[in-house]
């Protein structure tokens, strides 16, 4: 039936090598997806050892002491999965710097194209809010492109309060202590 989707039965889990094949398939669904998922060429991640190193790097990123490029902050990287199928990724940045205050925020997410418009982005975002709260983030700064109506609806449905627009980017403050949509 058009316009009707099933409620996602997925989980937000730490990055794991068991999703290797599905992760690569997801990256190939969208030209340019690599910039949302990882830095580099997707063909290098086809190598299981390179992928294992990538997963280890994502998990180490949570630690304050892990090395990272300038202007990056510690972050929790989680994957939205159904069984062994990688659906998308979500990043929770533990704190903001000037770059993130004006163009990134605390939480970012990406859903593979074949799974969009099925409720996954909203479900993953709502699942991430209590995790952000446990990290001491409340409220969370979240941004979306002004023309991304789907993301805007997700942010606003979880209590996001519009702060300002910077060019084509809209910034919202979203409470993490409770889920107003429940």
Q: How many CB atoms lie within 10 A of CB 124?
A: 26
Averages of pLDDT over runs of 10 residues in the chain (182 residues) are: 60 96 90 64 81 93 92 95 95 94 91 94 96 96 95 96 94 83 42
Residue 22 lies in a domain: yes
Q: Is residue 76 helix, strand or coil?
A: strand
pLDDT digits (tens, 9 = 90+) for 70-114: 889 999 999 999 999 999 999 999 999 998 998 889 999 999 999
Secondary structure E strands in 16-131:
75-82, 85-93, 107-111
Based on the structure, what is the number of domains in the chain?
A: 1
**Domain assignment of residue 118, given as a range:** 11-137
Residue 181 lies in a domain: no
- pTM for this predicted structure: 0.88
CATH of the domain at 59: 3.40.630.30
* CA 96/CA 78 separation, integer angstroms: 18
Q: For 25-85, give the DSSP string.
A: HHHHTSTTTHHHH-SS-HHHHTSHHHHHHHHHHHHHTTSTTS---TT---EEEEEEEETTE
CA proximity to 157, closest of 174, 171, 177, 137: 174
Half-sphere exposure of 67 (CA within 13 A, CB side): 0
Residue 30 lies in a domain: yes
Q: Would you state the pLDDT for residue 39?
A: 62
Cα separation values, 118 from 5, 24, 146, 147, 160, Å: 5, 21, 21, 19, 21
User: Which residues contact residue 113 at a Cβ distance below 8 angstroms, ignoring those fewer than 6 apart?
Assistant: 29, 30
Q: Would you state the pLDDT for residue 181?
A: 46
Residue 152 lies in a domain: no
Residue 148 lies in a domain: no
Residue 65 lies in a domain: yes
- Cis previous bond, 139, omega within 30: yes
Residue 173 lies in a domain: no
Q: Would you state the pLDDT for residue 28?
A: 87
């Amino acid at each position: 039936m058009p316009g009707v989707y099933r409620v996602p039965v997925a989980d937000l889990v730490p990055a794991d090598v068991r999703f290797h094949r599905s992760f690569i398939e997801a990256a190939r669904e969208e030209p340019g997806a690599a910039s949302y998922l990882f830095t580099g060429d997707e063909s290098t991640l086809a190598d299981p050892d390179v992928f294992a190193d990538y997963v280890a790097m994502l998990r180490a990123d949570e630690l304050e002491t892990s090395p990272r490029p300038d202007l990056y902050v510690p972050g929790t990287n989680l994957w939205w999965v159904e069984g062994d199928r990688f659906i998308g990724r979500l990043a929770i940045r533990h704190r903001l710097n000037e770059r993130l205050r004006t163009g990134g925020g605390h939480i970012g997410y990406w859903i593979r194209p074949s799974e969009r418009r099925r409720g996954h982005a909203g479900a993953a975002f709502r699942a991430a809010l209590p995790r952000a709260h446990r990290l001491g983030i409340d409220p969370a700064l979240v941004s979306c492109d002004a023309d991304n109506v789907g993301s805007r609806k997700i942010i606003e449905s979880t209590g996001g309060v519009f702060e300002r627009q910077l060019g084509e980017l809209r910034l919202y403050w979203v409470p993490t202590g409770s889920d107003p949509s429940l």
